[in-house]
């Protein structure tokens, strides 16, 4: 998920939702979810957004950073513990 942070820094003109959406599409393709790529990317996107909300931070960049740090090796479909 450190790739999401790198992608975010390369695309400063995009909103957080656009970045997560684009990243989720690319991640779904990399994970070879070819049967239903749109559904796979929506699941990954939803998980990332819910994970950021669960951090309890009011600022998106702080929540995203904490989520990415927590995620580490957990994989793209894990849920962080509530703060």
Cα dist from 66 to 34, 57, 61, 63, whole Å: 30, 9, 9, 5
User: What are the sequence ranges of the domains in the chain?
Assistant: 2-71
DSSP per-residue codes, 20-71: HHHHHHHHHHHTT--TTHHHHHHHHHHHHHHHHHHT--SSHHHHHHHHHHHH
pLDDT value at residue 77? 45
Please give the average per-residue pLDDT across 30-57, as a whole number.
74
pLDDT value at residue 75? 53
pLDDT value at residue 37? 65
């Amino acid at each position: 998920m450190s790739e999401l942070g790198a992608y975010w820094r390369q695309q400063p003109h995009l909103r957080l939702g656009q970045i997560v959406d684009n990243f989720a599409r690319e991640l779904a393709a990399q994970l070879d979810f070819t049967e239903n790529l749109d559904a796979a990317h929506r699941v990954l996107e939803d998980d990332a957004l819910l994970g950021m909300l669960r951090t309890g931070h009011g600022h998106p960049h702080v929540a995203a950073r904490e989520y990415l740090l927590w995620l580490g090796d957990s994989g793209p479909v894990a849920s962080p513990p509530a703060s």
